[in-house]
C-alpha cells in the first residue's frame, strides 16, 4: 500500500530530481497534505507508515490548468475550422457546437479530465460558455466527472448573452438571457463552491468575452463574485479583431472595458491577454489581475504572443492553460509547458526564460491566478498534488539535468499522479478509467454529432 490516506505517513523517497528546495531525500505526505521535506541523505523527522521508492522519478508539483473548453475535444481538427484565425474559426464551429448533448458533454469532460491528469495536471480549470437547449446542467456534469476521477476542479460558469441579432458572434441557439445566466450562477455557487483550503471543487463566473455578453452581465457577475467570494474569468486581449470590435461597439479598448464593468481587481484572471500596450500592462499589474498564457492555442490560431515577462514584472500573476481542444487539439498541459518555453524564448531570448520559469507558470503561477495558496508548490502545509515522471523513453536518453529534460526533451505523460494525497495515476494509467473504451465511445460520439470519417 502506498496511499498516504490509507497508511498515515507516506515517504516519497529519494527522487531522481524534485522541484523543491532541500528535498533531495523526498517528501512526507500525511492525509491530503505535504508535511515534511527531507534533505538528501536524511530520514524523516518522525516515523513513516509506508515508503514509495521514487529513485526513477522526477517529482514536480501537480500542474494547474487555468483555461480550457473541454467540450471542444469532440471537434478537434474539424475541417470547417482548421487554418482559420479566431473570429472565422468561432463562426465556423458555432454551426456545429449547437448539436452538443448532455451525454456528449459528459464524455468530452471525462476525456479531457483524463488527458489532463495523464499529463501531470492535478487541478483542471475549465471555462464552459456554451448552453444549447438541454445542456443547462453542464456545471453539474463537470463536477460529477471531476469527483469520479479524483481530479481537483475549478469550473467556471461561463455564458454568452449577445447573439448575432444583438451584435454578437454566436447564433441565438447558443446564448441565454442575462437573468437566466445570473440565476444559474447563484445556483451552482450555492451547490458547489468551496472556499476552504484543500477544496476539491471551486466555481468561478466567466462571461465569455466582450463580444458575446452585455455590460450588465459583467457588472452583475462581479457583484455576485464579491458576495460569494469567488473568482472572475473571461477572454480578453486575444486578437486584434477583438480590439477593433471593442473600439467599434464600445468606443474603448478591452482593458478600459474591463475597468468600466468593475473587473479590475485581484479576483480576476484573463485568458490569453496578448494585445496589451505598456500602459495597460502596468494597470493590470497594479490591480493584480492574473493572465493565463495559452501558448499552443495562440500559435495555432496565430493570435499573437502574451507579454508574460512584462505582465509578471508589473505585478500580474501569470499561469498556463491548454485552452480548448479545437484550438490546441490536445488537453496536455505538460506539452503546453514546453510550448510556453519555446514561444517565450523566441520572444525574449534564450537567457531570459528558462525551463524553471515555464514550470513555475504552470504550477504556482496558475495557482495564484485561481487564488489558491494551498497548491502549486512542494512545501509543508500545501496539498499533496504531485506529478512524477520517469525518463525511461528514448527521447530522454543522454539527458543530464532531469528537470530540464522534462521540458526540453518533451515529457508528455506522467508515470504517477497524486491528488490530495491519493494516487490517481499509477504506471501511466488512470485509476478507474478504461482509456480504450473511453476513446471508442468518445470517437463514436464525435462522428455521430459532428461528422467525420
State the cell numbers at 439.
476513446
Residue 173 lies in a domain: yes
Q: Check whether residue 52 and residue 143 sit in a common domain.
A: no
The number of folded domains in the chain is 2
Q: Are 39 and 23 in contact (CB under 8 A)?
A: yes
Q: Are residues 281 and 152 in the same domain?
A: yes
Question: What are the start-end ranges of the H helices in 45-201?
Answer: 86-97, 102-118, 138-149, 178-192
E strand or H helix at 318: strand 318-320
CB count within 10 Å of CB 51 equals 17
The tens-digit pLDDT sequence of the chain (453 residues) is 345 445 699 999 999 999 999 999 999 999 999 999 999 999 999 999 999 999 999 999 999 999 999 999 999 999 999 999 999 999 899 989 999 999 999 999 999 999 999 999 999 999 999 999 999 999 999 999 999 999 999 999 999 999 988 888 888 999 999 999 999 999 999 999 999 999 999 999 999 998 899 999 999 999 999 999 999 999 999 999 999 989 998 999 999 999 999 999 999 999 999 999 999 999 999 999 999 999 999 999 999 999 999 999 999 999 999 999 889 999 999 999 999 999 999 999 999 999 999 999 999 999 999 999 999 999 999 999 999 999 999 999 999 999 999 999 999 999 999 999 999 999 999 999 999 999 999 999 999 999 854
Region for 451 from its dihedrals, namely left if φ exceeds 0, alpha if ψ lies in -120 to 50, beta otherwise: left
| Co-location of 416 and 289 in the same domain | no
Residue 450 included in any domain: no
DSSP class of 376: S
Contact criterion met (CB below 8 Å) for 203 and 193: yes
**Is residue 445 a part of any domain in this protein?**
no
Rg (the chain; Cα; Å): 21
Q: Give the torsion sign (CA, 403, 405, 410, 413).
A: negative
Q: Are the CB atoms for 96 and 250 separated by under 8 Å?
A: no
What residue numbers bound the domain in which 15 lies?
Answer: 4-61+378-430
12 occurs within a structural domain: yes
Q: The whole model's pTM is what?
A: 0.97
Pair 75, 38 in one domain: no
Judgement on whether residues 406 and 322 belong to the same structural domain of the protein: no
Q: What's the order of all strands across the beta sheet hosting 201-207?
A: 63-65, 121-128, 152-159, 201-207, 232-236, 268-272, 290-293, 318-320
- Evaluate whether 15 touches 54 at the Cβ level (below 8 Å): yes
In this structure, are residues 388 and 417 in contact, taking their beta carbons and an 8 Å threshold? Answer: yes
Residues 37 and 72 in one domain: no
Amino acid at each position: 500500500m502506498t496511499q498516504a490516506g490509507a497508511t498515515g505517513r507516506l515517504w516519497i523517497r529519494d527522487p531522481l530530481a524534485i522541484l523543491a528546495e532541500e528535498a533531495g531525500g523526498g517528501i512526507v505526505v500525511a492525509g491530503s497534505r505535504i508535511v515534511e521535506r527531507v534533505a538528501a541523505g536524511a530520514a524523516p523527522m518522525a516515523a513513516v507508515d509506508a515508503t514509495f521508492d521514487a529513485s526513477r522519478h522526477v517529482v514536480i508539483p501537480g500542474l494547474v490548468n487555468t483555461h480550457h473548453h473541454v467540450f471542444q475535444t469532440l471537434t478537434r481538427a474539424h475541417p470547417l475550422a482548421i487554418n482559420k484565425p479566431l473570429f472565422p474559426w468561432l463562426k465556423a464551429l458555432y454551426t456545429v457546437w449547437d448539436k452538443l448533448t448532455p451525454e456528449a458533454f459528459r464524455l468530452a469532460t471525462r476525456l479531457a479530465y483524463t488527458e489532463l491528469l495523464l499529463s501531470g495536471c492535478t487541478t483542471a480549470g475549465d471555462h464552459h460558455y456554451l448552453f444549447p437547449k438541454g445542456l443547462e446542467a453542464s456545471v453539474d456534469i463537470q463536477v460529477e466527472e471531476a469527483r469520479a476521477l479524483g481530479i481537483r476542479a475549478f469550473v467556471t460558469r461561463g455564458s454568452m448573452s449577445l447573439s448575432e441579432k444583438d451584435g454578437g458572434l454566436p447564433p441565438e441557439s447558443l446564448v441565454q438571457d442575462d437573468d437566466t445566466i445570473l440565476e444559474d450562477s447563484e445556483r451552482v455557487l450555492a451547490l458547489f463552491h468551496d472556499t476552504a483550503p484543500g477544496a476539491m471543487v471551486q466555481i468561478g463566473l466567466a462571461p465569455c468575452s466582450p463580444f458575446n455578453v452585455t455590460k450588465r452581465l459583467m457588472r452583475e457577475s462581479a457583484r455576485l463574485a464579491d458576495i460569494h467570494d469567488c473568482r472572475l474569468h473571461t477572454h480578453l486581449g486575444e486578437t486584434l479583431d477583438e480590439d477593433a470590435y471593442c473600439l467599434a461597439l464600445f468606443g474603448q479598448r478591452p482593458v478600459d472595458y474591463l475597468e468600466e464593468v468593475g473587473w479590475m481587481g485581484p479576483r480576476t484572471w484573463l485568458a490569453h491577454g496578448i494585445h496589451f500596450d505598456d500602459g495597460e500592462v502596468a494597470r493590470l499589474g497594479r490591480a493584480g489581475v492574473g493572465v493565463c498564457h495559452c501558448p499552443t492555442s495562440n500559435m495555432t490560431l496565430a493570435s499573437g504572443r502574451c507579454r508574460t515577462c512584462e505582465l509578471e514584472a508589473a505585478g500580474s500573476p501569470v499561469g498556463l492553460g491548454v485552452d480548448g481542444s479545437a484550438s490546441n487539439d490536445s488537453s496536455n498541459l505538460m506539452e503546453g509547458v514546453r510550448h510556453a518555453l519555446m514561444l517565450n524564448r523566441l520572444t525574449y531570448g534564450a537567457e531570459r526564460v528558462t525551463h524553471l520559469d515555464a514550470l513555475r507558470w504552470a504550477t504556482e503561477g496558475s495557482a495564484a491566478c485561481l487564488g489558491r495558496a494551498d497548491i502549486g508548490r512542494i512545501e509543508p502545509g500545501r496539498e499533496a498534488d504531485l506529478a512524477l515522471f520517469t525518463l525511461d523513453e528514448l527521447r530522454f536518453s543522454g539527458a543530464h539535468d532531469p528537470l530540464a529534460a522534462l521540458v526540453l526533451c518533451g515529457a508528455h505523460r506522467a508515470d504517477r499522479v497524486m491528488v490530495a494525497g491519493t494516487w490517481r495515476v499509477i504506471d501511466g494509467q488512470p485509476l478507474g478509467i478504461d482509456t480504450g473504451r473511453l476513446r471508442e465511445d468518445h470517437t463514436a460520439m464525435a462522428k455521430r454529432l459532428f461528422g467525420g470519417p
